[in-house]
Amino acid sequence: MTEPSPYLSGLVLTGRRVVVVGGGGVAQRRLPRLLETGAQIDVISPAITPTIEGLLTNPDLRWVERGYAAGDLEGAWYVVVATDDPEVNDQVSAEAEERRVFCVRSDDRSRATAWTPASGQHDHVTIGVLGAGDHRRSAAVRDAILEELRTGALGARDSLDKQPGVYLVGGGPGDPDLITVRGRRLLAEADVVVADRLAPQQLLDELHPEVELIDAAKLPRGRSAQQEEINRILVDRALAGKLVVRLKGGDPYVFGRGFEEAIACADAGVTWTVVPGITSSISVPAVAGIPVTHRGVTHEFTVVSGHIPPDHPDSLINWQALAQLSGTLVLLMAVENLPKITATLLAHGRPATTPAAVIADGTLPSQEMVTADLADIATTAQSAGIGAPAIVVIGNVVEVATQVRR
């Protein structure tokens, strides 16, 4: 007998009662998306998982701490049956049938009156896929569709919800796969992209041919002049009705001058949005095998810019205080000034034997790392030919990382 073809429909459950019978793993997977609908959800189960318990802070979710009882579906619009007891599941689905309430069963789809599709969202589009009971196939098709939407292959550039303005997007530490989903979607929709030298360059190859690509590294030299020109371009293109992506490495607000650009947009009356990125200060050490914190080793980590030396009159850093800390010290843009920085830390009391590492081209195929004690790390990096961009990590977590052989 041929299985009947289901009729896909989007249920509007806002303010309506939904009953979930069971508090285990299946219920845990279903609840987040149900909560997004604004439904009033009752979970009926003698016990629930810790994750579900954490969701109870949501006022739309209520836990009925007992087993299922006849009459529990009174006023329900939708039912999810997710227990490991077939007799209870049969009882719930029978009552749902009697009350004409659509019912999903996790144990036996042939006895259900509704099936849960593999679903996902992109922008304001919801995808639902039913694969005749083959959940892996349904999920694979859903994921393929979502990826096509996110990269623009399925017409993301023609979205009716496309909003002009400036988007300050963090591209992550270098590997193009480490940009956020929203960041990648905005690149697919962009009219103009203003890219930093440290932004993931492979992503630029994916841009549509009609996108105006502006290399910020080739703008007029001098930090002030360059930043003024970047600000001018962002404002000019946005006022022309363009969707402008300002693509940076790492996170826009971690030594990325992102908020200077936000201020320029605000002053010009231009709509701007920040899209956070994965900062290299945490991700590069992690990918290299170094945790910036570790239980029993350090309770803090500090991120510092090393683009000017400690004795420079413009320095805002209290190097003496940093030297007294026992936690992890992460230095960005510090390769050139590393000899002066390490000498200053040593002079103010940081032990010479403190483990340290320098990681160049983090997350990229060309990634390279050297390690040494604090007293020797600058000369070790120089001898190895380590250059910018690189991350410096100082602290006992470097030694902890050697416990794991990769």
**Which residues belong to the active site?**
196, 218
Distance CA 240, CA 22 (A): 54
Residue whose pair of structure tokens reads 């004690």 in the numeric block: 373
What is the length of the chain?
A: 406
Kindly calculate the radius of gyration of the chain based on its CA atoms and give it in whole angstroms.
Answer: 27
* CA nearest neighbour of 402 among 381, 372, 367, 375: 372
Residue type, 361: D
Are 333 and 279 within 8 A, CB to CB? no
Say if strands 355-360 and 368-373 run parallel, antiparallel, or are unpaired: antiparallel
Are 111 and 93 within 8 A, CB to CB? yes
Q: Is 395 exposed, middle or buried (0-12, 13-18, 19+ CB in 10 A)?
A: buried
Which tokens is 225 given?
A: 């002049």
User: Residue 198 belongs to what H/E stretch?
Assistant: none
The three-state secondary structure class of 304 is strand
Are 79 and 73 within 8 A, CB to CB? yes
Residue type, 389: P
DSSP 28-63: HHHHHHHHHTT-EEEEE-S---HHHHHHTTSTTEEE
The three-state secondary structure class of 81 is strand
Which tokens is 28 given?
A: 């845990």
DSSP 311-345: T-TT----HHHHHH--SEEEEES-TTTHHHHHHHH
Are 390 and 360 within 8 A, CB to CB? yes
Residue whose pair of structure tokens reads 């701007």 in the numeric block: 272
* CA nearest neighbour of 142 among 131, 132, 127, 162: 127
